[in-house]
Amino acid sequence: MVSGDLVRRVLAGEDAAWHELLVLLTPGVVRQVRIHLRRVGDREDVVQEVLTRVFLNIRSVREDTHLERWVTRIAINTCHDWLRKMKARPAVNWSDLDPAEAEVLSQSLSGGLDAPDHDRTALFELLDKLLATLHPREQIVIRLLDLEAHSVQETCDLTGWGSSKVKVTAMRARQKLAAQFRRLGEGPG
């Protein structure tokens, strides 16, 4: 927890306080970036970009600002900007999946995924491929709501977006995913 005193010392330009703040904030930033960007190669760049934004904007923070939440928003918005630079995948086809991912998909389509013996790596790879077909904002919202199990209100707090925007975005994302599952359910052919 970042104390108000630490923030005051940082705002006063104390070097040691800035170091202390980085130690406190970095794990949270890394965690957020890991949630939204599964590609390992991108993560370090984005963490650096988030810390740079924090460093450049720290003077705009008021003393009563909840600093962790402010940094989380910066992290999520930076991930959002990063995802916008990526080209969205048009759709997932059976041919895009390796055998382990195809097996996980088959299990989910047949309702048999509840067994805990599925391949964890394949599960997350499949999720990434499916989510990569969504718009960046939809990816952020669906990961927070469905994969991180945050409530709508928590998602609003984390992203700074309004509740109607979050709900509509989530609804559209789930409709797109459902359409993909319908298409994939027709089989590899």
Give the residue with the Cβ less far from another protein, 20 or 154: 20
Distance CA 117, CA 102 (A): 15
Give the residue with the Cβ less far from another protein, 147 or 162: 147
Q: How many residues line the site for another protein (CB under 8 A)?
A: 45
* Minimum distance of another protein from residue 95's CB (angstroms): 18
Asked if residue 108 binds another protein (CB under 8 A), the reply is yes
Asked if residue 113 binds another protein (CB under 8 A), the reply is yes
* Minimum distance of another protein from residue 54's CB (angstroms): 9
* Minimum distance of another protein from residue 146's CB (angstroms): 4
- Amino acid letter for position 140: I
Asked if residue 110 binds another protein (CB under 8 A), the reply is yes
Is 7:63 a contact under the CB 8 Å cutoff?
Answer: yes
Both tokens of 164, joined, read 């109607």
Determine which residue in the list 1, 60, 90, 114 makes contact with another protein, applying CB under 8 A: 114
SS3 sequence, 136-186? HHHHHHHHHHHHCCCCHHHHHHHHCCCHHHHHHHHHHHHHHHHHHHHHHCC
Is 21:2 a contact under the CB 8 Å cutoff?
Answer: yes
Asked if residue 92 binds another protein (CB under 8 A), the reply is no
**In this chain, which stretch among 58-66, 79-87, 92-100, 123-131 interacts with another protein, using CB under 8 A?**
123-131
Of 38, 73, 71, the closest CA to residue 154 belongs to 73
Phi-psi region of 141 (alpha: psi -120 to 50; beta: other; left: phi over 0): alpha
Asked if residue 39 binds another protein (CB under 8 A), the reply is no
Distance CA 187, CA 189 (A): 6
Residues that bind another protein (CB under 8 A): 18-20, 22-24, 26-27, 30-31, 34, 48-49, 51-52, 55-56, 104-105, 108-111, 113-114, 116, 118, 120, 123-124, 126-127, 130, 146-149, 174, 177-178, 181-182, 185-187
